[in-house]
Amino acid sequence: MQLTGSNPVAREDPSLLECCCSAATVIPEMTSEQSEWCRPRSQRHRENRRGVAEQIVLMTWISGNRLFFLQFSFQQGGWGASLADMLVRKCDVLNRGFSGYNTRWAKIILPRLVRKGSGLDSPVAVTIFFGANDSALKDENPKQHVPLEEFVANLRSMVRYLRSVDVPEGRLILITPPPLCEATWAQECLQQGCKLNRLNSVVGEYARACLQVAQDCGADALDLWTLMQKDGQDFSSYLSDGLHLSPKGNEFVFSHLWPLIEKKVSSLPFLLPYWRDIAEARPELSLLGDGDH
C-alpha cells in the first residue's frame, strides 16, 4: 500500500480519518539449533529457551495508516522496513498495530506488551510515539481526545512501568507527533462531512509536553514536530493527507530515529557466521554454536 494521496479505503469509512497508532517490536534472532529456525517466528520469540545476553524491544506508537501499521511500515518506503534492513542478522523487527489508540488506552495495554518473565531479556531500546490522537479537538473528536495534563501523566505512567520491568530511562526514546497540515487534513474531513478535528498549534502543545517528559525522565527525545517545520520549510510532503506519514515522511522519521537507536544497538553481535566462514567439512561446528560472530 502506498501512502501517497488520501487513503481510498477511508472514503468508505469515516472512522478511517482518525489517526492510528501501532507498536513495533525489535527482538534479536534467537541462537539455537537449526530446528529452531524452522518454527514460526512468533513461537521462537515466545519460547526463547536459550536466550542471549540482551534483547531489544522497540515499541513504537506512531500515527500511520488505519490498516495495521505492520502492514504498511514494512512496505517499500516504510520506516519499519528501513529499520529492519539496518538490523538484518542482528534483530527481528516486529510491528503491532493499534489503530486509533491514544495514551489513555496504551497505558492500559502496555503491561500485556512488555513484562517481566515473558521470555525476553531486558529490552535495550524502547520508543514511545504518541500525541497525534491525544491532541484531537475535544468538541470534534471526544473519543480520541486526551487532555494535555492527562497525556503527560500517561506518558510518565508508561515510563514508570517500563522502569519496573527493567527498562531504564537511558533505553527510552520519546517521539513527538509530527506537525499537522491543516489545509490538507481539512479537505479530508470535509469529504467525510465533518469539521476539522485537529489543529497544528494544539499538536505543538502536546509535542512540547512530550519533550518535557523526556527531559524530566532522562530519556532521549525526537522532536518531529519541530524538525519537520524547521526554518519554515513546507512539511506537507511528509504527510500523505495532512496527518498520516507519506513515503517521504517515513524516510524523514527513519533518518532521524536511526542515530538514536544505533547507539543503543551498536554492541549487538552479528548472528551466525558469514557463509565463507562456515566450516565446509563439519558445518554444524559453525552453525550450532552460540551464533555470536
What the block records as the C-alpha cell of 178 is 509530527
Cell numbers representing residue 262 in the block = 544505533
Average pLDDT over residues 59-71: 33
pTM for the whole thing? 0.74
Query: 10 Å Cβ neighbour count for 105?
Result: 17
CA atoms within 13 A on the CB side of 285: 6
Looking at residue 119, its pLDDT comes to 53
pLDDT at 195: 95
Q: Is the pLDDT of residue 5 over 50?
A: no
Q: pLDDT confidence of 107, banded at 50, 70, 90?
A: very high
| pLDDT interval class at 33 (50, 70, 90) | very low
pLDDT at 267 over 50: yes
The rounded percent of the chain whose pLDDT value lies above 90 is 42
DSSP 73-125: HTSTT-HHHHHHHHTTTT-EEEEEEETT--HHHHHHHHHHHS-TTSS-PPBS-
Residue 14, pLDDT > 60, answer no
Q: Which of 2-11, 24-33, 159-168, 192-201 has the lowest mean pLDDT?
A: 2-11
Q: Could you report the per-residue pLDDT of 158-195, keeping only the tens digit for each?
A: 999 999 988 889 989 999 999 999 999 999 999 989 99
The domains of the chain, with CATH numbers, are 55-265 (3.40.50.1110)
With 50 as the cut, is the pLDDT of residue 52 above it? no
Assign residue 246 a region: left if phi > 0, alpha if psi is -120 to 50, beta otherwise?
Answer: beta
* Percent share of the chain, pLDDT over 70: 67
Mean pLDDT, rounded, of the chain: 74
* Residues pairing with 257 in the sheet: none
Instruction: Return d(Cα 254, Cα 261) in angstroms, integer.
Output: 10
| In the predicted structure, residue 106 carries a pLDDT above the cut 50 | yes
Burial of 158 per CB tally in 10 Å (0-12, 13-18, 19+) = buried
Query: Higher pLDDT residue, 198 or 27?
Result: 198
**Other beta carbons less than 10 A from residue 26's beta carbon:** 27
Q: How far is the C-alpha of 261 from the C-alpha of 238, rounded, in Å?
A: 21
What's residue 113's pLDDT?
80
Q: CB under 8 Å to 127, separation ≥6 — which residues?
A: 24, 58, 59, 60, 172, 173, 174, 175, 257, 261
Is 50 exceeded by the pLDDT of residue 23?
Answer: no
pLDDT: which is higher, 258 or 17: 258
- On whether the CB atoms of residues 225 and 176 are closer than 8 A, the answer is yes
In this predicted structure, the answer to whether residue 32 has a pLDDT above a threshold of 50 is: no
How many angstroms separate the CA atoms of 184 and 174, rounded?
27
